[in-house]
Amino acid sequence: MSYTLGDIVSGLPPKGGGRQNWGVTSDNSIGMVAAMQAIKEITETAELEELKYQTPVPPAQPLVLTTGNPIIPIASLLATIGPNSSYPQFQPYANLFTDVTDQYDGWLWFQGNGFQPNAVNQSGRIIEYRRVPAVDMYTYGVTSNTQTSYGTAPSVYYTRFNQNYQIGPSPDQNYPFFFRLKLRHPFPATGQAAMPIFAPDTWQQIFQYAAILQLAKDEGINSTDSICKTATEFMTNRGMDMYTLRQVQMRRDERHNQRSLSLRTARYTHA
C-alpha cells in the first residue's frame, strides 16, 4: 500500500488514449470522481486484507452487549477506529469511515470480567450470521411468551438491517464482544489526491482501467473502441468484470457462515 488516489488518476491518460483531462488530480475532477467510484465499487466486494479491521478485544476497550438490547449500531463499531492503536494505518482517517461492507465473525464472552485491568475472559462463542427473519424469530418470538416482550437468552445469531446489527436472542446479561469487519474505503472531501489507497500495489492498474471504463462510458465512447476494448479485456481477464464482481450486501454478509458437514458411508462388510 504505497500509492495514492493522485497516483492512480495521473496515470490515466496513457491508458485512455492520451486524454489529459482525465489525469487532472484536483479535487472532484472527472478523473478523481471516476477513480473513487471504481475503488469503492471494487473494494466493496473484493476481500482485501488492507481494509480488514477488528474492534478492540476486551478488556482493553470493551464493547458490551447490554441486557435486553438486541441492537448494535454500526456507527458504534466505527467509533472504535480512532483510539485503536492496533490499526495505526486507519487512525488518521477514522472520521472518514462511514460503513462496513463485510464481516467475518462476531465473538462474545460468557465468563470473566472484561471490565477490569488484566481480566481473563474464560470462555465464549462465535455468534453466526443469519438473515433477518431467522434472527427476528430468535429475538422476538422463540424465548418469549408475550408478543410485545423480547425473548432473552445467550445470543446465538446476528444480522444486519440498514446501519445496525441485530442480535438474537436479545442478550440475557451483559457480554463483552468484538467483531472482525471489512471497512468501506474512505475518501476525503478535500485533499483527495493525497489519500492513500488501502489495496495491494498490484491493484493500481485494476483501479485505473475500471476508472477508464467509466470515463469512456460518460463520453459515449463505443464499447468496440480500442480504449473500451482494452480496459474491458484487462478487467475480465483478472476476474474483475464489474457486473460479475458486484454483490448485494446480504450476500456478502452470509459468505462467512460457519458450516458443519457429517459424512455418511455404508458400513463395510467382507463378502
Which is it for strands 100-109 and 71-73: parallel, antiparallel or unpaired? Answer: unpaired
Torsion sign, CA atoms 45, 48, 50, 55 = positive
Q: What's the half-sphere exposure (Cβ side, CA atoms, 13 Å) at 116?
A: 5
pLDDT tens digits, the chain, 271 residues: what are they? 589 999 999 999 999 989 999 999 999 999 999 999 999 999 998 889 999 999 998 655 568 888 889 999 999 999 999 999 999 999 999 999 999 999 988 988 876 554 544 455 567 888 989 989 889 888 887 665 665 566 677 888 999 999 999 999 888 888 889 999 999 999 999 999 999 999 999 999 999 999 999 898 888 887 778 888 888 888 888 777 766 677 777 777 777 776 544 455 555 555 5
| pTM, entire model | 0.84
Q: Domain ranges in the chain?
A: 5-48+199-255, 52-183
- Tell me the pLDDT tens digit for each residue of 43-57: 998 889 999 999 998
Report DSSP letters for 246-265, one per residue. ---HHHHHGGG---------
Rg from Cα positions in the chain? 23
- Tell me the pLDDT tens digit for each residue of 94-151: 999 999 999 988 988 876 554 544 455 567 888 989 989 889 888 887 665 665 566 6
The angle formed by the CA atoms of residues 254, 260 and 264, to the nearest 5 degrees, is 140
The pLDDT assigned to 140 comes to 81
